Structure formats: C-alpha cells, structure tokens
Amino acid sequence: MSDAFIIDAHLHYGYVGSFYAFQTTPEHLLETMDRCGIRLAVCSDMLCIYEGFRAGIEEQRRVFEWSKGRIFYLGVFDPRHPEESLEGLTSELGRPGFRGLKLHPSMHGISADDPSYRPAWEFAARHDLAIMTHSWSASDYNPVQFLSVPQRFEPWVREFPSVRFILGHSGGRGTGRTEAIRMANAYANVYLDFAGDIYCYRLVEGLLHAVPAGRVLFGSDFPWLDPRSHISRVLLSRIRPEDKRAVFFENAQAVYRLPTG
C-alpha cells in the first residue's frame, strides 16, 4: 500500500443544519484530509444541496482553486428547479473541478423514479459525467428515505447504461444495502460507496464478497463522520492489498475521471 493514496469519494463542507457539527468549513476539510492521508476528495457543498447548485457555484470553484486542485465538486440537480439546475450545471462544463452530478431525493422531497429527474440523466449521458446519489433503506422513523431506496433508480440505470452511477451509502442498512448489491451485480454502470453511519460488522468484507472489487468506493461523509472511522475499516479488513487500493483510490479515479498523478 506504500504507493497508494486515498480519494474520499463522498464528503461535504458547509453548514449541516440538521445537527451540530463543529468542523464544517473548507479549511477544516483540508486539515482533515492532510491529517488522514487523503490526497483528493469529491465534494457536495451543503449550500448547493439545500438552496440549489447556483447558490454555491462560485464557492465551489474557489475551494477547488484554493485547495490546489484537491477538492473536486459535484453539481446538485434539484428536480424542483430543473431549468435553474441545468443552467448551473452547463456553466461548469469544461471546468477542471467539476466531476459530475449529485442527487438527493430525500432532501428534495421527490421520489428518485419521478420523471422530473430525466434532464439530469440526459445531461450526464450527453457529457460523459457520473451521477452520485443519496440512497438509503426504507425507514419507519425517517419516512423520507423511501424516496431514495435503490430500486427507485433502476429504470434510469437501465435507460442510461453509459452513465456511471454511484449509490451513495450503498443503500444504507438492511434491505437498502441488499438492493444496492443486487443492482451493482445486475448493471455494469452501478457503483457503491460506503460513506455514512453504516456501522455493520465487517461491512467492507461483506461488500467485496458480494460485488466485484471494482465497484466499491471509499467515502467518509465528512463532516458527519471523521474519515478515520472508515479508513480503519478498510485497512483492517481481511481483503487483498490490491482490493484495498481499488477501494481507496483506483475506483474513484476511474468513475470520476480524476487525475492519476
């Protein structure tokens, strides 16, 4: 692993809103990356998720430049404001920091299989961009998660096989993760990241025994979680060194078309 480095393929900066997080700024993020040996990151600005992509475009560009090209960003597509979202996404085409689209059906209150998401999938297919989404299992105590269960994305995955599609959080826990694993095995364009509070016994080994090693990406979900909690899970997992390299950086490089040097 001496020649490896870590890409955190799922994290955020900005005010969280739903609970207290004491390290939320880009400065905190870069300090954490340096402390944990994370060379590159793929980020979704919380302001863009809450208020729309255009709300945080200039900040995301600034952070990419300020970080000397280490903190890449995804453009949020909000199905409630599709024209505004597409305008913002189009403005980022060709910019080196822009690496794909972010969806969050649970946050935006529109089911992932709703026709209002079609422009996002068409845009990604037309411009060879990845889509990463929040995904989780159905929850009695958090019912909006039903809008983001993995199987709701399946019609789009079938229709747009050229779009590299990442189920963030690997569908969460229980049935959500089962469905995410099924889709990663059924479709060549589906990937899983395990960012978030999925504290299940031997999660990494379980995922790599269930799906090809080339389909699993490391993610922390900073600032919700300290990246070290998931880094240790990979380092201590009983998988081959080459699979650890794939999870830590090779897969994210390929999916998000990130630099290799």
Query: What residue type is assigned to position 4 of the chain?
Result: A
Rounded CA separation 191/102 (Å): 14
Q: Tell me the pLDDT of the chain (261 aa) as tens digits.
A: 445 589 999 999 987 766 667 788 999 999 999 999 999 999 988 878 888 777 788 899 999 999 999 999 999 999 999 999 999 999 999 999 999 999 999 999 999 999 999 999 999 999 999 999 999 999 888 999 999 999 999 999 999 999 999 999 999 998 999 999 999 999 999 999 999 988 888 899 999 999 999 999 999 999 989 999 999 999 999 999 999 999 999 999 999 999 876
CA distance readout (Å), 22 to 71, 103, 120: 20, 25, 33
The pLDDT assigned to 1 comes to 45
pLDDT (0 to 100) of residue 51? 81
CA distance 96 to 23: 26
pLDDT value at position 159? 98
Spatial strand order of the sheet with 165-168 comes to 6-13, 38-45, 71-76, 98-103, 130-134, 165-168, 190-193, 216-217
Inter-residue contact 176 to 138 (CB < 8 Å):
yes
Q: How far apart are CA 12 and CA 220, in angstroms?
A: 9
Beta strands in 77-186 (DSSP E): 98-103, 130-134, 165-168
Closest Cα to residue 127, out of 155, 163, 174, 176? 163
pLDDT of residue 137: 95
From CA 76, how far away is CA 89, in angstroms rounded?
Answer: 8
User: Can you tell me whether residue 44 is helix, strand or coil?
Assistant: strand
Q: Which domains does the chain have, with CATH numbers?
A: 6-256 (3.20.20.140)
Quick one: pLDDT at residue 261? 65
Alpha helices in 96-159 (DSSP H): 105-108, 118-127, 154-159
Beta-strand runs (E) in 79-153: 98-103, 130-134
The number of beta carbons lying within 10 Å of the beta carbon of residue 196 is: 21
